[in-house]
Structure formats: structure tokens, C-alpha cells
Amino acid sequence: MTAAATTGRLIVGFEGLALDPAWRELLGHPAVGGVILFSRNFASVAQIRELVAEIRALKAPRLLVTVDQEGGRVQRFRAPELTPLPPLGLLGKWFERRPDRARDLAYRHGRVMAAEMLGLGVDLSWAPVLDLDRGSRVIGDRAMSRDPATVADLGGYYLAGMKDAGMAACAKHFPGHGSVVADSHLEVVTDPRPREALEVDLLPFARLVDKLSAVMMGHVRYPAVDPLPAGFSSRWIGGELRRGLGFAGLVVSDDLDMAGAGPVGDLDDRLAAALDAGCDLVLVCNPDSAMQVLTKNPDLPGLNAETLGRLHGRALSSMTEQLLVPEFRAWRESLSLLSQNEQ
């Protein structure tokens, strides 16, 4: 019997608009399963298509190509050919007045975003945000609402849009980053509430868990459950997410370089702790850190390639074909108009 193909567990960031020989070699490292692209990697639609095609051709099983294309202030790719997406928080504002219109907009948002990224060859946008808008400096209008039932409701329509375009979904940031003010990119973040008080943040994840292919953990400490940040906690990953909510998809760490991961130790400590806690994939977004990890960890355990393949994009039709459909063009125009009105 032939052994199942394996791939790497690291999703890494790199510099530049094209791959130089050093990065071609690094991305061929067996520990690398995919890349995360940023604005630093984007100059135009034609350029990003060429870059993505080069990444996808590097090795087999092919690398997963990802980006953060949430909309609002987190939209890495911006060009005249791409729709300027409004922040998800706009959906919650519409929901307060016109719930049916808000649901329609949520579907359009997920569908257009996913279709455009798939049209570039990108497999996955790390979306949707299922956090609550309850005072966090880093979440804010990236969240659909402060009300968990509204987030769950609109999130279902957003996920349907992504699915109908052919893109898997990765909800973030479990178990919820929106109810603490501090930014885990910049500082260690602790949510001191008792366990029962955290249920409000968990609700959107719990209601949508069967529709998710992946979940990204948050770098927030919840001492009522575990003193470690959630992405390094087997209690959160194995206990609350997998056994408690019954989640069967892929678990992804947030970026290991974030300050919120500090309590775990240095970069190597963080990588080991994330994998030991149950993360299937680990984000290393800083290129220097990615180089360091790949140099110092030549023998990381692999991941079944078919498992990672669940996150590969499967566009149901090309962008050229979709743009022939008046309804799809109208969806793009409506989102662009809403985005302009938010500025």
C-alpha cells in the first residue's frame, strides 16, 4: 500500500513581488504547507496572478496560497479590477434596520470576495471574523456586530457566499478576541472573565461550527480556562473546540510573532507549543522568522496532504464567466458603493 502524501504545517510570509532563488528553495522546504500574502507582495492583478502561479508550481502536493481579504482596513489586495469591500461592521448596522438586506449584503460580501481571490489563484482568505465588536482596538469594525446572535446569523450568509464561490472558510479568532481592549499584535492580552461569561463570545463559533473548514485561534489568555494563550492551549483546542463544540476541521495558530504569544517563550518555543496543543497549521508571517524556523527545524512533523487539500480553492467558474452575469456585476457595484460611503 502506498503511503499517504504529506505536506508541511507552516504557512509562511515572504518579501517581494516575485520569488528570488532563496525563497524558491525555502518554500520547497518539507515543513512549508503554504504561504500568506500581504500588500508587500501585491503590485497589480497581473503581477499577483503570475506570482501565485509560480508558487503553485513549486512542488507537489502544491502549496496553499492564502491572504487576509476581509474588507475595510484589512484588505491586502487593492486594484481597479478588485472590489473595495466595506468593513464587516457595516453589515451589523444594516441588520439593526433591515435584517433581510443585511443578510443579502453578507452573502454578496462573502461571494464577491471569494470569487475575486479565487480568480487570482488564491485558495483561501482567512475569513470570516466571528469576534464581537465589544471594545477591542484590533477587532472593532472587523466584526459584524457586538451582538453574538447577529454575528452568527450574518456569518451564516457570509459563509454561504464563500461556499457558492468555491472557497473554504476559516473563522477567527477562537474563542473570541472582541471583548478585550488590548491588541494581541502589540501586547500580552488577558481576558479575566469567568468561564461562564465567555459563552457570549463562543456563541457564533458554536452555531456555525459545522460550516467551517478551519478555525484560527486567538493569542489571548483566558485564565479561567488556561493561563496560556488559547492558540497554545490543549484545553481550548482539544477540550473546548474539538470535544466541546465538535469541530472536526483544521486548527490554525495566529501569527507566532505577535506579542500576545510572548508568554510561551521564544519563536521555537511557540512553534513547539502550538503543535503540541493541537494546531494543525502554524502561521509565521514575518519573513525573517520564517527563515529562522525553517533553518532550525528541519524535521517538523508533516500533515496529510488530503487534509490540507480541504482548504484548496475550487472556483466554480472563472471571473470572466462570472462578470458576464448582470447579478454578479451588480453585487460588486453595490459593495463598492457601500465601501465608498464608509470612507
Is 12 a member of any domain?
no
Domain count within the chain? 1
- Of the pLDDT bands very low, low, confident and very high (cuts 50, 70, 90), residue 1 is very low
Is 257 a member of any domain?
yes
Amino acid letter at 102? A
Query: Per-residue DSSP letters for 84-146?
Result: -PPPTHHHHHHHHH-HHHHHHHHHHHHHHHHHHHHHTT--EE---B----SS-TTTGGGSS-S
Is residue 297 predicted with pLDDT exceeding 90?
Answer: no
Alpha-carbon Rg for the chain in angstroms:
19
Is 14 a member of any domain?
no
Alpha-carbon dihedral angle through residues 315, 319, 320, 326, given to the nearest 10 degrees: 110
* pLDDT one-digit tens code per residue, 103-156: 999 999 999 999 999 999 999 999 999 999 999 999 999 999 999 999 999 999
In this prediction, residue 299 carries a pLDDT of 80
Is 4 a member of any domain?
no
Is 169 a member of any domain?
yes
User: All 3 cell numbers of residue 140?
Assistant: 472593532
Is 34 a member of any domain?
yes
Q: How far apart are CA 253 and CA 242, in angstroms?
A: 15
Burial class of residue 343 in the structure, from the number of CB atoms within 10 Å of its CB (0-12 exposed, 13-18 middle, 19+ buried)? exposed
Is 11 a member of any domain?
no
Coil, helix or strand at residue 216: strand
Average pLDDT across the chain, whole number:
95
- Of the pLDDT bands very low, low, confident and very high (cuts 50, 70, 90), residue 3 is low
Between the two ends of the chain, the Cα-to-Cα distance in Å is 58
Domain membership of residue 198 as a residue range: 24-342
Mean pLDDT of 163-175: 97
* pLDDT one-digit tens code per residue, 32-64: 999 999 999 999 999 999 999 999 999 999 999
CATH for 184: 3.20.20.300
Give the catalytic positions in this structure: 185, 254
Nearest-CA neighbor of 130 among 25, 202, 80, 192? 202
What pTM does this model have? 0.96
Is 142 a member of any domain?
yes
Q: What angle do CA 104, 106, 111 make, to 5 degrees?
A: 95
Nearest-CA neighbor of 145 among 212, 75, 200? 200
A 10 A CB-CB count for 193 gives 16
Mean pLDDT of 80-93: 96
In this prediction, residue 316 carries a pLDDT of 82
